[in-house]
Structure 1
């Protein structure tokens, strides 16, 4: 029986059963197809050696530390990233707190303090351009030399390019999502973009209109294009429902509202308040429109429901990860 996945955060002690493993190192925001080429290589190496497979990542994103005044649309917050890593088959994720103090560590201190002493790794897998330590002084050559000296192997993975020979990056995916290109973003991610949050109370207007919604507040930095989407809604117990979601400020009823994700969950009756649920985005249907009144809004909502049901009726998983997340 497979042992439970472990998420080790901050200064928590790394359990003995996770020591001596193969470690994929990187920020991995988005867990996109480029990252998957690194992560899958680490899984293969761990199976070959018969040791645990781990991911070593950094929270928060380094850009939030070095450029705190510049908003950053984080594609996979820590809890979402951990769930994706678990779905891939890893034994655990180690989340190193990224602070200015940590950033000032020398490359040697990172290798000996984190990789050797804390994790006791047998093998490291990283992207070909991975740099670490103060002023990025550690690079691939440094890591390989350290591995030879300290007794762990190193695998460097080349940049992954899509079918158009372009490098897949988190930045490209952020831009696509900001433009409402949910399907194109899924093509680079290898799965449908997914958010996770608590279902909170709202004004309950949707209920009075015959379209009760599960409302979720996303990060203020979530630069997802405002509009109407065909989605899949996963409850805390794992049950899955198709739905149609509005992300935005509800211009017909609340011009000044903060952005809210409101999902009309198809074929469901019940109370979702307080549940931690996830929403996977399959397609962008239209932008937000300010209607003359509620009757016109209801007519459009019925059209949106029909279009979302039609779109979702023909979808298929893009990958094993997509199967785990959105199917």
Structure 2
């Protein structure tokens, strides 16, 4: 289904008003988020389905010193929401001025007047407005007074508790991308532009596409079996390293370097989506480039075997 992204809540076109919307940050767009969206759709199946979300994530504004933590940046998040059948994504710019808006103003001016929402839904922990002054009780009361329907959606849980972005971040940082994929409903991906590297991979016989992690969470450092979605829609298999390359010891920030199997096209400047499937080994330092080259060949062989054994790729 085609979805539309709206980035200025003050200038929403008439045709996008009158939707029903789920509210939240939707970092990762995991199974819990999908449950929220589908519950709303079941409550109002005849109305256009929308999401109200924020960019940047409020934590990025209030705690800029924190390490990057995002599971999905806007483009990836939008794609995942569209795949759920969301027709309109209202992506509100969360800046200093917006953070000063009261809870009352958010409900009245944004949700009711600007977006013209007919029904809203959120989880129990949704808080909003200046200093998080609004909670779900306030939201339910004001929505009713303004003629908007309201659904408080219980969290989707399993034996480990509620599905959450925090839980998925921990799985990725601990080196369990397969378990994170089960909670996301798809493999975790890093989407980014291929930058020029130092060409060391090519010298080693394994040319790599280099992508900066940027605002993405840094998962466990090491080597992963991956699939890569190209700009033209093709899906390629490969092996990727995430880390600081201790053998070369360049001391730079962590980066993602992916070698695409049986592929030799120029990818510079293209946007790739790299999905992590299995952590093959942790990052380590080797005694020289020959030992590193031998290990990379072994990693590639292992990744091919793992990807061949899966029916998904």
> Is this contact kept in 1: 2:194–2:268, CA < 8 A?
yes
Q: Which residue in 2 is equivalent to 1:5?
A: 3
Q: Which residue in 1 is equivalent to 2:227?
A: 232
> Is this contact kept in 2: 1:200–1:274, CA < 8 A?
yes
Distance 1:259 1:146 in 2: 46
Distance 1:136 1:264 in 2: 45
1:261-272 alignment to 2 at 5 Å? 261-272=256-267
Query: Helix, strand or coil: the match of 2:192?
Result: strand
Q: CA deviation at 1:255?
A: 3.6
Q: Which residue in 2 is equivalent to 1:300?
A: 295
Pair 1:43 & 2:17 matched: no
Distance 1:9 1:220 in 2: 20
CA RMSD after TM alignment: 1.8
Q: CA deviation at 1:95?
A: 1.0
Query: Helix, strand or coil: the match of 1:200?
Result: coil
- The two structures have a TM-score, normalised by structure 2, of 0.93
> Is this contact kept in 1: 2:140–2:150, CA < 8 A?
yes
Distance 1:217 1:70 in 2: 18
> Is this contact kept in 1: 2:169–2:217, CA < 8 A?
no
> Is this contact kept in 2: 1:174–1:223, CA < 8 A?
no
Q: Which residue in 1 is equivalent to 2:66?
A: 70
Decide which of 244, 263, 272 is 1:249's aligned counterpart: 244
Q: CA deviation at 1:153?
A: 0.9
Aligned residues: 313
Q: Which residue in 2 is equivalent to 1:212?
A: 207
- The two structures have a TM-score, normalised by structure 1, of 0.90
1:93-132 alignment to 2 at 5 Å? 93-132=89-128
C-alpha change, 1:148 and 1:61, in structure 2 (3 Å) is same
Unaligned ranges ≥5, structure 2: none
> Is this contact kept in 2: 1:127–1:159, CA < 8 A?
yes
Distance 2:178 2:64 in 1: 30
Q: CA deviation at 1:221?
A: 6.0
Query: Helix, strand or coil: the match of 1:138?
Result: coil
Unaligned ranges ≥5, structure 1: 318-326
